[in-house]
């Protein structure tokens, strides 16, 4: 049974960034306004997510990391309009299977916090009182150490994995309004460096300035397009001539109703239009699609990053026209 559990878990948590993503999303679901991510050795040794959210009630301690335990009510016919990131109750159980999981948590109803240890099957093995503010800290040590092949891959690709994680955290830092986000990494020699720090502003503009800096922001044009009454695209793209030479989408972020998603077709469109005038450059693009939930299908993949619009061609065409206008007036 344990082997099967391990294999299934490996499909929810594919790598470092999907592991941290699950924890950050849990913090956001818990209403946190501050989320701190601390990595040791780029996440190889451990990673920890500290939040000031609601905390976890004692009656959930035993079941917390069991497969399919979720406190987020799942009303199946209404999956589309789900307001929380999580709903399957798979993240903590998967993380248990793939590493050593401990939790420290306290709700407003408790005077002290509790430190909890779970085994690889998600069973609670130790519990003690500790001091902590209201909120939750989840620590995972030695991710993948019990999957030799994955573990080797992880160590070999650690820089790439780390880069992917930072890019993902940037996405949340840009879109999570009113949430302070800090990410730091501590290396073997106990040198701690802060790699990301935002103040939790309410505006996308302020968040862009905090993540990428003022000089980058001043090279962006705003995008604001309403495709219909309830269909709005808002964001920023590089002004012509101000793209980056790098052939990577590491500064292209797309969101649907505030959730980070992959939109390869939108990325391609933006690159194509932009490169029409500026060869060898790729624009920064940060766009949020505010759309009715009935117009798309999420949850196509386990990590919920892929999303599918029902009227994709129409959206792409509208966006194309809007961007062409922005580019030509910006050049004039
Ligand atoms: P899901 O997010 O799909 O519900 P998870 O396995 O990610 O499943 O988490 C299981 C449960 O643990 C959540 O439903 C929630 O009740 C609790 N939980 C996890 N992380 C936190 C957190 N940071 N703050 C409060 N509760 C949490
Ligand atoms: Mg979750």
Spatial CB neighbours of 155, under 8 Å, sequence gap ≥ 6:
44
Picking from 240, 263, 67, 103, the residue whose alpha carbon sits closest to that of residue 171 is: 263
What ipTM, to 2 d.p.? Answer: 0.99
Query: Residue 195 is encoded by which pair of tokens?
Result: 């790699």
pLDDT at 1: 47
pLDDT at 13: 83
Look up tokens 């939109």; give the residue. Answer: 263
Distance from the alpha carbon of residue 70 to the mean position of ligand 1, in angstroms: 6
Query: Ligand 1 atom 11: the closest Cα is on which residue?
Result: 70
pLDDT at 48: 98
Most ligand 1 atoms within 8 A of CB, residue of 20, 29, 303 to mutate: 29
Distance from the alpha carbon of residue 251 to the mean position of ligand 1, in angstroms: 29
Picking from 149, 175, 136, 151, the residue whose alpha carbon sits closest to that of residue 16 is: 151
Most ligand 1 atoms within 8 A of CB, residue of 26, 28, 79, 103 to mutate: 26
Distance from the alpha carbon of residue 26 to the mean position of ligand 2, in angstroms: 5
Domain boundaries, the chain: 2-197, 219-331
Q: Which CATH architecture has domain 219-331?
A: 2-Layer Sandwich (3.30)
Q: pTM for the complete prediction?
A: 0.89
pLDDT at 35: 98
Distance from the alpha carbon of residue 84 to the mean position of ligand 2, in angstroms: 9
pLDDT at 245: 59
Which atom belonging to ligand 1 lies closest to the Cα atom of 93?
6
pLDDT at 258: 86
Which atom belonging to ligand 1 lies closest to the Cα atom of 71?
14
The residues of the chain scoring below 50 in pLDDT are 1, 76-77, 247
Q: Using N-to-C axis directions, what is the helix angle for 264-277 and 312-331, rounded to 10°?
A: 30
pLDDT at 84: 72
Domain 2-197: which CATH number of 3.30.365.10, 3.90.45.10, 3.30.565.10, 3.40.50.2300: 3.30.565.10
């Amino acid at each position: 049974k344990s082997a099967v559990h391990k294999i299934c878990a490996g499909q929810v948590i594919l790598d470092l960034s999907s592991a941290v993503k699950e924890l950050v999303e849990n913090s956001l679901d818990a209403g946190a306004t501050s989320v701190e991510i601390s990595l040791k050795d780029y996440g190889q040794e451990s990673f920890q997510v500290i939040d000031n959210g609601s905390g976890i009630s004692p009656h959930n301690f035993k079941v917390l990391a069991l497969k399919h335990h979720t406190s987020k009510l799942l009303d199946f016919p209404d999956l589309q309009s789900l307001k929380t990131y999580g709903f399957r109750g798979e993240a903590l159980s998967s993380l248990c299977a793939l590493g050593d999981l401990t939790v420290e948590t306290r709700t407003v109803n408790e005077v002290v916090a509790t430190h909890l240890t779970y085994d690889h099957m998600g069973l609670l093995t130790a519990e003690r009182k500790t001091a902590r503010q209201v909120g939750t800290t989840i620590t995972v040590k030695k991710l993948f150490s019990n999957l030799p092949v994955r573990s080797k891959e992880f160590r070999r690709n650690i820089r790439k994995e780390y880069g992917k994680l930072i890019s993902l955290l940037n996405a949340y830092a840009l879109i999570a309004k009113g949430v302070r986000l800090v990410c730091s990494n501590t290396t073997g020699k106990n040198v701690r460096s802060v790699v990301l720090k935002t103040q939790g502003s309410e505006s996308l503009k302020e968040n862009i300035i905090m993540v990428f800096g003022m000089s980058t922001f001043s090279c962006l044009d705003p995008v604001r397009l309403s495709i219909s009454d309830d269909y709005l695209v808002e964001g920023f793209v590089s002004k012509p001539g101000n793209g980056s030479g790098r052939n990577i989408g590491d500064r292209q972020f797309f969101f649907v109703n505030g959730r980070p998603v992959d939109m390869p077709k939108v990325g391609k469109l933006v690159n194509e239009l932009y490169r029409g005038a500026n060869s060898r450059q790729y624009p920064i693009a940060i766009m949020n699609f505010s759309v009715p939930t009935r117009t798309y299908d999420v949850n196509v993949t386990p990590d919920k990053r892929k999303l599918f619009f029902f009227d994709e061609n129409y959206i792409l065409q509208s966006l194309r026209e809007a961007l062409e206008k922005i580019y030509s007036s910006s050049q004039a």
